[in-house]
Homo-oligomer: A and B are copies of this chain.
Amino acid sequence: MSEVTALLLDLFVIFVAAKLAAELFERIRQPPVIGELLAGMLIGPYALGLIGTPDEGLVRAFHGDAAAAQEAVDLVYHLVAELGVVVLLFFVGLETRVADILKVGRRAGAVAVLGVVVPFVLGFMLMGPVLGRSQLEATFVGAALVATSVGITARVLRDLGVIASKESRIILGAAVLDDILAMIVLAIVAGLATAGTVRLLDVATIALQAVLFTAFVAFVGTGAMRRYGLHLDRLKMDGAPFAVALAAMLGLAALAGMIGLAAIIGAFLAGMVFAEAREHFELEQQALPIYRFLVPFFFVITGSQVDWRLFIAPGLITLALSVTLLALLTKIIGCGLGMLGAPWRNVAIVGIGMAPRGEVGLIVASLGLSLGAIPQDLFNVVVVMSILTTLSVPPALRLLYAGQPETALSPEDLADQAGRLPDM
């Protein structure tokens, strides 16, 4: 068996594990993304060991140097996972017009900002001053608590048939803003991890860089796309508009990485720029199969990095549960503050609806791990927090909606929403 055949076999095992887990979790009415993570934990090197280790042929190709062969396998896994998450954020970007963000009202803005500030500050305080972790570690945990997972929230609301309700629209609008804020926070912490300490000038520089890069691509790119985007089909090559969008995805991802931002920020912005032309060129329909093929690799590979053995260490389970509780409470309090004046039930729905962290918390955690900014135990804590916040939201939302008449939806609303929401 050649080295490449061995890697193809790994990809097959990962893909099948992801899809079996997704099927199982659909049947027990839980988010498939959780199943994919758990599948990764199960087949990864810390449990069954079905993936992630070099076979004999690969070790031979490195002249018997097992450490170098392992490094090469890690590089391949890292690249495949990165491609998956780049495609994920590109797809989320395709569903997010700059205009959608600009027209969401003060309400969604307040929910988003307070829903980012409160978890970050309290998360940082818990890890730093209270538990005595380093500033960098506390910053990463705070950042991992920041972002709501749009995909999971939307999916749950859709399953409940309330996607067009007023609370749902506030949640969706706030979640988009929240994603942007989370990306700036992510850019800041990624930069800090390289610089090593938290200095105000660094924060300002990186924030300015993130804001400028984001604003330049979002507004100049969007303006150019509005003016010239429809001319893309003048190109002669097969599938030209989609090819240009994919090139922008790879190019802006690489560019973001080169100037010190996270690659996914570039991919998200590429998607948002092409959101202006998405209906005309059916970009979402074309991106969806690539999403379905590549995105599961990110979640399974991320899950496979959880080292179960660390949970045996005393106190880690307590820490994980504390961080999870903090993650739930701070999001409910922060977003609830943004909803002040609304009926209590709507406050609760928005607060709970913003609580699942899903993939974004995992992105922060795996970035922190790969940069050496957080140790393995905190990575595991964040993974547990992501899983538990996500798992707790569907039943809580069902409870809040129980006995309420379902919001009446026009077929147009349903079709519109069905086309806009990612299926995760």
Contacts and interface: CB of A to CB of B under 8 A. Distances in A.
B8 A82 contact: yes
A238 B258 CA distance: 35
22 contacts: A1-B258, A2-B370, A3-B75, A4-B78, A4-B82, A4-B263, A8-B257, A9-B258, A11-B250, A11-B254, A12-B251, A12-B254, A22-B237, A22-B238, A23-B236, A23-B237, A61-B71, A72-B72, A75-B76, A76-B79, A285-B285, A290-B293
B5 A257 contact: yes
A77 to B, nearest CB: 10
Interface in A1-54: 1-5, 7-9, 11-12, 15-16, 19, 22-23, 26-27, 32
A343 B75 CA distance: 58
A220 interface: no
A5 B243 contact: no
A292 B8 contact: no
A239 interface: yes
A242 interface: yes
A209 to B, nearest CB: 15
Contacts of A287: 289
A423 interface: yes
B19 A247 contact: yes
Interface residues of A, number: 61
Closest 6 pairs between A and B when the two form their complex, measured CB to CB: A5-B257, A26-B236, A12-B250, A72-B72, A9-B254, A286-B289
A16 B240 CA distance: 12
Contacts of A12: 247, 250-251, 253-254
Nearest to A289: B286
Copies in the complex: 2
A266 to B, nearest CB: 9
A65 interface: yes
A342 interface: no
Contacts of A237: 19, 22-23, 26, 32
A250 B15 CA distance: 9
Q: Interface SS of chain A: helix, strand, loop or mixed?
A: helix
Interface string A237-274: 11110111011001101100110000100000000000
Nearest to A1: B258
Contact of A243 (B19, B71, B285): B19
A235 interface: yes
A62 interface: yes
A2 B250 CA distance: 15
Contacts of A65: 68
A306 interface: no
Given A61-B71, A62-B68, A238-B22, A251 B5 contact: no
A344 to B, nearest CB: 34
A32 B32 CA distance: 39
A86 interface: yes
Interface in A255-312: 257-258, 263, 285-290, 292-293
B293 A246 contact: yes
A26 B236 CA distance: 6
A59 to B, nearest CB: 11
A65 B69 CA distance: 12
A292 B249 CA distance: 14
A2 B8 CA distance: 25
A120 to B, nearest CB: 25
Contact of A71 (B32, B72, B86): B72
Given A5-B258, A237-B32, A15 B79 contact: no
A102 B252 CA distance: 48
Contacts of A27: 236
Contact of A250 (B8, B58, B238, B290): B8
Contacts of A19: 237, 243-244, 247
Nearest to A283: B289
Nearest to A7: B79
B61 A15 contact: no
- Best-buried of A8, A22, A236, A247 by chain B (most CB within 10 Å): A8
